[in-house]
Amino acid sequence: MTIVNKATENKKPVLQEDAKLAAQTAPPKIAKVLPQHINLDKWEDADYIWTGTIAPQEMTRLLGAVPEAYQDEPIGLTCELSKQGQLLTLAMTFDGEVWVTCQRCLQPLAIELSHQAQLILLQTQAQESLVDEADDYVLLEELLGEQSENSKGERLLPIKKLVEDELLLHIPLAAKHDDCAMAVEQVGIIIEEEKPSPFAALQVLKGKL
């Protein structure tokens, strides 16, 4: 008994040191950076939660719409993959804002992002009967099949792509300040230039869901 106590005593400082070291070097329980994918074989029957921040510079499609000075502005995000009844659901909660260019004065404009979006991941076509028309949903196997990384039969949910899709859908097609002046004084005739919007394709997509 005495020996055990002594041993424990002697080891104590070392153990504390070890624990400290371990705390410093141990990987965090969740990835710091939003992962590209989550493996459904591991997570679809367990709640998956990721909380952190993302920045436009991590998202190539969104990046094009964000003025350079704002591309590393963090956006708070919580992603939760869980079963809501029978339905696998990805909830995305955004907190913060994303900056775009005002289409009237061409100055930066903040788009408020504090909202929650839900995407239902249908595991069978039959589950369509369980969702409302107002719900956003996608047929999971179709979504997975579109991702080249799943060509070997893996089931990796492209979570980052889905987050970026949601952000793009949330940003108005031609965002403008409530009250601002045209950037250019009209001299003669202005030829209106129609630029293809990076959001247009997604808006069409959303209509189909």
Contact range with Zn ion by CB under 5 A, out of 28-36, 95-103, 123-131, 167-175: 95-103
Minimum Å distance from CB 37 to Zn ion? 38
Among 104, 155, 161, 170, binds Zn ion (CB under 5 A): 104
Q: Does 101 bind Zn ion (CB under 5 A)?
A: no
Give 67 or 76: the residue with its C-beta nearer to Zn ion: 67
Buried b (16+ CB within 10 A) or exposed e, 81-115: bbeeeebbbbebbbebbbbbbbbbbeeebebebee
Question: CA-CA distance, 70 to 57, in Å (whole number)?
Answer: 9
Minimum Å distance from CB 188 to Zn ion? 23
From residue 189, alpha-carbon distances to 104, 194, 196 in Å are 17, 16, 22
Among 61, 130, 177, 197, binds Zn ion (CB under 5 A): 177
Q: Which of residues 63-92 bind Zn ion (CB under 5 A)?
A: none
CB 150 within 8 Å of CB 144: yes
Minimum Å distance from CB 97 to Zn ion? 15
Chain contacts with Zn ion (rule: CB under 5 A):
102, 104-105, 177, 180
